[in-house]
Amino acid sequence: MDKYFKRLAVLSTVVMFIVMIAGSLVTKTGSGLGCGNDWPLCNGKWVPAYTIESLIEYTHRLTTGLAGIVVIVFSVWAWLRYKGNKEVRGLAIFGMFFIVVESLLGASAVMWPQSSPVLALHFGFSLLAYTGVFLLTLFALNRERSAPMIQTEVPFGVKVYTWFTALFAYGVIYLGAYVRHTGSNLACPDWPLCQGQLIPDLSAMDGNVGVQYFHRLAAGVLYLMLMGLFIYIARHYRNTRQDLYKTSKYVFILITAQVLSGGLVVFTKLNLSATMLHSAIITVMFSLLCHLCMQVMKRPEQEYEVEKVAVEQGVVKNSGKKTVKTATETV
């Protein structure tokens, strides 16, 4: 049974990732109204006419529907499997809630015209839904391996800084989505400068230059924030908190790739592959950053709680001369 549960966990994350990429494809190809203003039908039909726009939009709808079913089954199974575990319950509710919100917002965007700020929220809510499923999957796959890594607690200041960085990252991502929906992608046709200047005329092109410029500026600040977080963790917790060190390293690598992919988007003049890569990297990066937020909150004392639960459930195995308690229900 454990094997099937883990397979469903991986499937849930993969399907949600496909939903994220499909949603980005809809936006970048301008296929949002490929099915007209009908929902859930496509131009009044269950099987739409064959056009590129309608095919992209309808495929995205079908994928989202499938993802919703898979995620709900996985979340409910995880909730029942780890009864009493607050982390699992919270992540299950989080993922299911935002996939419903994302679906409803997508439907409303089709049936009623929405402003750019509202449309940008669609990607933001999709990202939160993916993140919830991603974190629940990590719990299911790594619950036994991650617990022994927690050998010390991090200071309160580090916890606050990590969570603030994640919130700031979400703001940067939202601003990036806003850039796409306002058509400001190439308001700065060069990179890393903007119109050949360090500080351009922010009011140019009806303010689109300002939108693009502030997105780049915020992305640069985020890069420095994540660099500082990685350096601090590497110096102080490389040996005692491998979970934090490895995750922060991967996050820093991904934010570096994200910055470079942003330049690639500009240099290739919005090449579809480059823009899709840009969206894919930030999706994984943000999810790992949220995982880091979860891990900084954990304390070594939780190891004893894990062992207590394991013993109470009779999950004990012998190893040599001493008894080793194996955590199978919580992290």
pLDDT averaged per 10 residues, the chain (length 331): 87 93 83 72 71 81 89 93 89 91 78 72 90 94 78 92 97 92 86 87 84 94 97 94 94 96 92 91 96 92 49 42 39 37
The Cα 62–Cα 37 span in angstroms is 16
Site of tokens 């308690």: 325
* Tokens linked to 29: 């190809």
Q: Which of 233, 287, 235 is nearest to 258 (CA)?
A: 287
Peptide bond into 117 cis (omega under 30): no
pLDDT, residue 317, reads: 41
Distance CA 118, CA 121 (A): 5
Question: What pLDDT, on a 0 to 100 scale, did the predictor assign at position 112?
Answer: 64
- Enumerate the H helices of the chain as residue ranges: 2-28, 52-81, 86-111, 116-146, 156-181, 208-237, 242-267, 272-296, 301-312
Q: Which residues are catalytic?
A: 57
- pLDDT of 111: 67
In angstroms, the CA 115 to CA 122 distance is 11
Name 194's bridge partners.
Answer: 197
Q: What is the largest CA-CA distance in the chain?
A: 75
* The pLDDT value given to residue 118: 78
Rounded Cα–Cα distance for residues 213 and 178 (Å): 12
**Host H or E run for residue 34:** none
What is the pLDDT, as a whole number, of residue 31?
A: 74
Which pLDDT belongs to residue 301? 63
State the pLDDT at residue 54.
Answer: 82
311 and 329 in contact (C-beta within 8 Å)? no
